[in-house]
Amino acid sequence: MTHQAHSYHMVDPSPWPIFGAAAALLTTSGLTLWFHHNITFLLALGLLSMILVMIQWWRDIIRESTFQGHHTPTVQKGLRYGMILFITSEAFFFLGFFWAFFHSSLAPTPELGGQWPPTGINPLNPMEVPLLNTAILLASGVTITWAHHSITENNRKHATHALFLTILLGFYFTALQASEYHETSFSIADSVYGSTFFVATGFHGLHVIIGSSFLSVCFLRLINFHFTSNHHFGFEAAAWYWHFVDVIWLFLYMSIYWWGS
């Protein structure tokens, strides 16, 4: 019987990459059709197929790693590089929106009244809900660290409690932001202030939702005994992503909410 003479994982043929690409095509063209022709069908199909691909692809990775043992230290190292590179690319993504914000806010045009915030805009008080949101995300960073240490020390009860608290804080943040979005006196259509505010905080909020979902999957895996005290990369990747989301918020808070008011 043959066996591999190396520590890498030669993945079995899988349909998910090409289906994922198809889902991306359906979603983007669906978005265009919705914007220009008020047709929602293609967009719905695109989003549905995207979710299905994600569930099945990641389910397969869990099968290959936790149940079949293909994730050697070498493979895990590659995954670490991958996650770091992905988060770096996300950092550049946000950098663009911060660039846009500073471009418009450092030299406000006469059309805006030559001031920032523009004339007629009543910004949110950074010392109210935005401060609470900062406290929430910072606290979740502490609780997720508690969870990680509990996993490495084999304390199942504490790991469960800590991860649960982290997810709860994440949901609380999202709920507060949604309520803020409903209560602000300005909208996305209110000059470049509204555009930069809602696009930057909106994408951040999306990343919080993604991070919360990632953590929730980790929670389910944790209670199903998928993690060991020295092999739990899925959790580590989620934790890195969560800290990244927290850092982005801190920059958003300091520049848009605080300096920008």
Reply yes or no: is the peptide bond before residue 17 cis, omega within 30 of 0: no
CB of 56 to other proteins, least distance (A): 30
- Residues 6+ positions from 9 with CB-CB distance below 8 Å: 64, 70, 71, 72, 75
How far apart are the C-alpha atoms of 176 and 130, rounded to whole Å? 9
Q: Please state, in angstroms and as integers, the Cα–Cα distance from residue 219 to each residue in 47, 222, 224, 225, following that order.
A: 24, 5, 9, 10
Minimum CB distance to other proteins, residue 217 (Å): 22
Residue 208 near residue 181 (C-beta atoms within 8 A): no
> For other proteins, which is the closer residue by CB, 61 or 139?
139
Shortest reach from residue 50's CB to other proteins, in Å: 20
DSSP line for 186-217: --TTSHHHHHHHHHHHHHHHHHHHHHHHHHHH
Q: How far is the CB of 36 from other proteins (least distance, A)?
A: 8
- Choice between 5 and 189, CB closer to other proteins: 189
Q: Least distance to other proteins from the beta carbon of 152, Å? A: 8
206, 128 contact by CB (below 8 A): no
Cβ 149 to other proteins shortest distance, Å: 4
Q: Looking at residue 13, what DSSP letter applies?
A: P
**Is the CB of 8 or the CB of 35 nearer to other proteins?**
35
Structural tokens at position 83: 């996650």
Compare residues 9 and 148 and give the one whose CB is closer to other proteins: 148
Return the number of the residue (49 or 191) whose C-beta is nearest other proteins: 191
Which CB atom, from 82 or from 120, has the smaller least distance to other proteins? 120
Site residues (vs other proteins, CB under 8 A): 34-35, 38, 111-113, 118-122, 125, 127-129, 131-132, 134-136, 138-139, 142-143, 145-146, 149-150, 152-153, 155, 158, 162, 165, 169, 181-191
